[in-house]
Chains A and B, each alone.
Chain A
């Protein structure tokens, strides 16, 4: 089945985007990325450690195989996020960026107003923006109007693993925006990823759901399969829900 999707002018096969944080080692990072089947992986930008020169995450990522997606994790204002992405561009990144403007340290919920403002400015500068946002249709519409390539509503708080808390909202967003909808944050296990895809999401972005599992590499594979199963179920079109039983064996011809 040739089931690709478009992100701007790129054509992608994989519907899982994975983060590169929280792994025990660079070897584990490398193995989990491979098992997930991801084509896009996210990275964060931080000060270099002046005291010790450790191998960096870039040593674990084959740039020929993966598209790097720099994020603005930890930024609380539009200005900080934009400053961070200017530095990412200086590091030789393409213009594809993951915009996050956090509004509160406890929930890590996004500041949607600041996110929309930052998105407008970044799009004007030529960035291709993938914004993390609340599962709120109007915010997603504003982000689409701002020129974002996709919208990335959260399923649940970042790192919570609580799954899709409001599938109805995600559904409304899918039905009412024209750009790809990528669920970003909150996916805890393979069935959560499958649910996102069954709802009709284009892709899912996750990090802790894989890195926080007891066996991250095995979970990366499970997530890939969950995404695949959910996508195929969406394309197949599920049967209607019924309140009462409906026998699947013939009711005629019963022995007496």
Chain B
């Protein structure tokens, strides 16, 4: 059985980031994938838990850039769409 969202729906197959027993999780979309995260998770915590805490990653939340200086203070909200991007090899 998947994690229970605040709306009471179950989401089998969702990856739970930062879940602890008794915590409330919220549903967000990260790079096109539905995910559940613990309520109150900040952008910094999310990146750290995904293993990208030491990487330079640009973050867009609902099409608005979250500046790096605000990663630690920006908490995710249910329904947020996040884009996490970085540089890759490319030419033209």
Shortest CB distance B26–A (Å):
18
Residue from A46, A53, A92, A184 within 8 A of B88 (CB atoms): A46
Shortest CB distance A64–B (Å):
16
Shortest CB distance A201–B (Å):
16
B35's nearest neighbour on chain A, judged by CB, is A50
**Mask for B39-55, Cβ within 8 A of A = 1, else 0?**
00000000000111001
Q: Is B89 touching A21 in the complex (CB atoms < 8 A)?
A: yes
A45 in contact (CB, < 8 A)? yes
**Mask for B1-37, Cβ within 8 A of A = 1, else 0?**
0000000000000000000000000000011110000
A91 in contact (CB, < 8 A)? yes
Neighbouring B residues of A22 by C-beta, 8 Å: 89, 91
Neighbouring A residues of B90 by C-beta, 8 Å: 19-21, 42-44, 46, 57, 71, 73, 207
A: number of interface residues (CB 8 Å): 43
> What number of residue pairs across chains A and B have CB atoms under 8 A from each other?
117
Cα separation A106 to B43 with both chains bound (whole Å): 38
**Mask for B60-76, Cβ within 8 A of A = 1, else 0?**
10010101100000000
A87 in contact (CB, < 8 A)? yes
**Mask for A188-223, Cβ within 8 A of B = 1, else 0?**
000000000000000001111001000000000000
Q: Answer whether A68 and B87 are a contact pair too, CB < 8 Å, given A48-B52, A50-B31, A91-B56.
A: yes
B: number of interface residues (CB 8 Å): 27
Neighbouring A residues of B31 by C-beta, 8 Å: 47-48, 50
Neighbouring B residues of A147 by C-beta, 8 Å: none
Residue from B33, B52, B65 within 8 A of A90 (CB atoms): B65
Q: Answer whether A21 and B91 are a contact pair too, CB < 8 Å, given A47-B83, A47-B84.
A: yes
Q: Is A46 touching B85 in the complex (CB atoms < 8 A)?
A: yes
Cα separation A106 to B37 with both chains bound (whole Å): 40
Neighbouring A residues of B85 by C-beta, 8 Å: 45-48, 87, 91
Q: Answer whether A42 and B65 are a contact pair too, CB < 8 Å, given A48-B84, A48-B86, A50-B50.
A: no
**Mask for A173-192, Cβ within 8 A of B = 1, else 0?**
00000000000110000000
Cα separation A22 to B57 with both chains bound (whole Å): 22
Neighbouring B residues of A90 by C-beta, 8 Å: 58-59, 65, 67-68
Q: Top 10 nearest A-B pairs by Cβ distance?
A: A19-B91, A207-B91, A44-B90, A20-B89, A90-B58, A57-B89, A43-B87, A21-B90, A87-B58, A47-B31
